[in-house]
Structure 1
Amino acid sequence: MKRSLVIGCAAVALAAGCGSASAQSKFDVLLGGDAFFQGAYVDQDRDQNQRTTEFSNRLRLTITPTAKADNGLEYGARLRLRAVGNGNNRTTDNDRAFMFVNGSFGSIQAGVTNGLSDDSGIIGPNPDGIEGSPDGFVTTFYTFPGLVGAGALPYVMGSLRTLESGDASTKLVYQTPTFAGFKLGAAYTPVMGSSNTNVNRQKNTTNYRDVGEVQATYTGAFGAVAIEASAAYQFGKADFSNTEDLSSVHAGLNVGFGGFKIGGSYAFSGDSGYAKGATGIDDAQVWIVGVNYTTGPLILALNYTDAKGIDSNYFGVNARTHLWQAGVTYTVAPGLTTGLEYSYFDNKVGTLNNDANVFLWDTRFAF
């Protein structure tokens, strides 16, 4: 949906030699978003007091006012609202709220947004046919009854690219124009977990501060072969003196030919955020390999994820997950898909095992 608003007295000037912008511009306000509805059946080893079925849903609304000056400068802002909540406590929050400018110099974003690799890092084809995390949202249906303190999965299962790139704190992001398929980017976050109007200059209050990320991406084609690739590095200072600094790398590659796409990725974060001197915990790392095939409105996919490192609660317990997935997605109409997905968790936290079979029905709408 798009509507146009005419407003006066809008002026933008950039110091980087972009020239003076027009005094008056026509603004387009773009309204978009997406929603999903999911139903799952879960059969797991440890099922004390656990039901086998559950539903989940989410709706996001994105509002983007944009304008273009006479000198070609595009500028605007973006706000993404989310209908979320735990239990029956429904709430609305935002995970995007930033200004941007685009020009011959590249693009700049300033405000609440995610990191570079979380936004565009390559991690392989998905079992649900939708670009994004290979695990989709299936991990939200996985539980580990009787596990005290530690999280049910390795921490990296929620951070499949660089370790903290999914953190939507207030940051500054710059990306170059695309040259021969290549694009470079850099991001800086003063304080992880600080967003919107929050100002946090106090030390020893969050996980990391002065977090930086750099990334290179490539998109191209060689005849009938399509290539997508990315490589990123994220670093930051631990806010507490007794924990390790953040240092995380990620690389991914997808190759497409005909209706097939095959690819994978690897991320290594070592002992980032671990207590100094901690022993018996694997280095945090995750690797992924997957393939999907598109024929008409159908997407068929297979995926494998191997993740290990500290538990998701950073309780100091070693965790290891092997996740096998298969799925089929059907495009009902433009913007509307439905699909079925099967996931098998071979999971161990500390000395405890909890394998699980998850059957997931996923319907999505994007506009």
Structure 2
Amino acid sequence: MKKVLLGTTALVAAGLLAQPALASDPIKLQVKGYYQNLVTFSDVDEPAGSTANYKDAQFRHEGEVHFKGETKLDNGLTVGFDAQLEIVNVGLSGGQPRDMDETYMYFSGGFGKLQLGAENGAAYLLHVGVPSVGLGFDDRNFGVAASNGGHGRPNISGDTAKGTYFTPNMGGFQAGVSYSPNIDHQGLSGNGFGVMTVGTGSVEDVIGLGLKYSGKFGGASLAISGGYETGEVVGGGSNVDPEIWSLGLNVGFGGFTVGASYADSENYDSGSLNPGADGDVLALGLAYKTGPWGVSAGYQKTDYEIAGVATSRTADEYELAASYQLGAGVQLRGGLIHADMDLNTLPDTTTLFVGTFLTF
């Protein structure tokens, strides 16, 4: 698969080089992004013997500023870039520096689109998740208390440096393939060629495949996706290599959207390598929008079994949410989330949230 991707990249590059260099407008810069601000009130059922001190009320926020640039050459080729600056990140604390997140460039045209740089892979980007006007379950910025369930969107490689190719959209169908030599964020810039080693037990050569169809039929709409991602563990043998496959479905009609997604993983547990883990994540959702208003209900079931471990980690998560669009780029959201963690080391949590979501 790696040879196929590298061959595809070489063919696209050869096609780009074959194009005549003509005059065109310079790249035009745009500034976009988002900022999310929440007030949450939580009831945490702390496990027996726990010394954790969970705060009932919290002020939480997350945001990024995106610097985007693009130009279209006279030969029809589009060249652009995207650099995303973390201004607030729920994963950062104390004096940790704010830094760039996804940063990549791309070429697009009749051949499709080629992305090069730090961005999530094809299986992640083409995934169809369940509808939600609240916080949702996939790729959420805010989880409940200290833990939450799994993720239905394949993301072994994360947003590490990679090459990704997307086919043109043909009759609603689009496919993509991505390749990440390693999943280390460090050592890819500076002097020299950034040649680096991958330590024993780390993941390398991550391949991602994605396929998506979206279309409309009269007053109804359909979106469906399938994804697969796998990598190799250095010195670990094929029996510990992580892999995830996923399916997603949304059907829309008359303001309603109903959706479902399912993911199955091996040797991978909710965002990290875990040899022996066998996981399933099932999510269901229903949303309704009319004018500036929206409401949704969602459910997600997570079940992880670990080889050699007597107890499994399971979670049942529920979300009820509502939203109101105050104006362009300004939305109010509120809702209730309950997480039932079926393992005595993880707390059951019920959280009420109210927040303002800005996009610009």
* Alignment TM-score, normalising by the size of structure 1: 0.83
Match among 304, 314, 318 for residue 320 of structure 1: 314
Aligned equivalent of 2:328: 334
Aligned equivalent of 1:28: 28
**Matched ranges for 1:159-170 at <5 A:** 159-164=151-156, 167-170=158-161
CA distance in 1 between counterparts of 2:65 and 2:101 reads 11
Aligned equivalent of 1:7: none
Aligned equivalent of 1:15: 14
The offset of 1:266, in angstroms, is 0.3
3-state DSSP class of the match of 2:124? helix
The offset of 1:310, in angstroms, is 6.0
CA distance in 1 between counterparts of 2:201 and 2:327 reads 44
* Counterpart residue identity of residue 21, structure 1: A
How many pairs does the alignment contain?
Answer: 331
CA distance in 2 between counterparts of 1:200 and 1:160 reads 33
CA distance in 2 between counterparts of 1:26 and 1:316 reads 61
CA distance in 1 between counterparts of 2:315 and 2:185 reads 31
3-state DSSP class of the match of 2:236? coil
2:196 pairs with 1:192: no
CA distance in 2 between counterparts of 1:326 and 1:227 reads 23
Question: Is residue 174–residue 186 contact of structure 1 (8 Å, CA) maintained in 2?
Answer: yes
Q: Are the structure 2 counterparts of residues 87 and 69 from structure 1 closer, same or farther at C-alpha, using a change threshold of 3 Å?
A: closer
CA distance in 1 between counterparts of 2:160 and 2:292 reads 37
Aligned equivalent of 2:5: none
Aligned equivalent of 1:246: 242
**Matched ranges for 1:128-147 at <5 A:** 128=134, 133-134=137-138, 136-139=140-143, 141-143=144-146
Q: Are the structure 2 counterparts of residues 221 and 321 from structure 1 closer, same or farther at C-alpha, using a change threshold of 3 Å?
A: same
* Counterpart residue identity of residue 284, structure 1: G
Question: Is residue 225–residue 248 contact of structure 2 (8 Å, CA) maintained in 1?
Answer: yes
Question: Is residue 193–residue 206 contact of structure 1 (8 Å, CA) maintained in 2?
Answer: no
CA distance in 2 between counterparts of 1:319 and 1:268 reads 15
2:171 pairs with 1:172: no
2:306 pairs with 1:306: no
2:287 pairs with 1:287: no
* Counterpart residue identity of residue 175, structure 1: F
Task: String of CA shifts for 1:163-200, please: whole Å, max 9, x gaps.
Answer: 525x1100000001000000010000000123552846
CA distance in 1 between counterparts of 2:76 and 2:96 reads 42
* Alignment TM-score, normalising by the size of structure 2: 0.85
* Counterpart residue identity of residue 26, structure 2: K
Match among 58, 62, 84 for residue 58 of structure 1: 62
The offset of 1:201, in angstroms, is 3.2
Give every structure 1 segment of 4 or more consecutive aligned residues whose post-TM-superposition deviation is greater than 6 Å: none
CA distance in 2 between counterparts of 1:364 and 1:119 reads 22
Aligned equivalent of 2:76: 72
Question: Is residue 124–residue 254 contact of structure 1 (8 Å, CA) maintained in 2?
Answer: yes
* Counterpart residue identity of residue 112, structure 1: A
2:218 pairs with 1:227: no
Q: Are the structure 2 counterparts of residues 209 and 170 from structure 1 closer, same or farther at C-alpha, using a change threshold of 3 Å?
A: same
Give unmatched runs, 5+ long, in structure 2.
Answer: 1-11
Task: String of CA shifts for 1:336-363, please: whole Å, max 9, x gaps.
Answer: 10111101111023x4463211111121
Q: Are the structure 2 counterparts of residues 16 and 285 from structure 1 closer, same or farther at C-alpha, using a change threshold of 3 Å?
A: same
- Which deviates more from structure 2 when the two are superposed, residues 222-231 or residues 352-361? 352-361
Question: Is residue 247–residue 269 contact of structure 1 (8 Å, CA) maintained in 2?
Answer: yes
CA distance in 2 between counterparts of 1:240 and 1:327 reads 46
Give unmatched runs, 5+ long, in structure 1.
Answer: 1-12, 144-151
Question: Is residue 38–residue 59 contact of structure 2 (8 Å, CA) maintained in 1?
Answer: yes
3-state DSSP class of the match of 1:25? coil
CA distance in 1 between counterparts of 2:45 and 2:209 reads 41
Aligned equivalent of 2:9: none
**Matched ranges for 1:69-218 at <5 A:** 69-84=73-88, 86-89=92-95, 91-128=97-134, 133-134=137-138, 136-139=140-143, 141-143=144-146, 152-154=147-149, 157=150, 159-164=151-156, 167-194=158-185, 196-197=188-189, 199=194, 201-204=196-199, 207-218=202-213
3-state DSSP class of the match of 2:117? strand
* Counterpart residue identity of residue 176, structure 2: G
3-state DSSP class of the match of 1:197? coil
RMSD: 2.5
* Counterpart residue identity of residue 105, structure 1: F
Percent identity of paired positions between Structure 1 and Structure 2: 24
CA distance in 1 between counterparts of 2:121 and 2:97 reads 24
The offset of 1:142, in angstroms, is 0.9
Task: String of CA shifts for 1:223-273, please: whole Å, max 9, x gaps.
Answer: 111011110111110134277102210110000001000011000013344
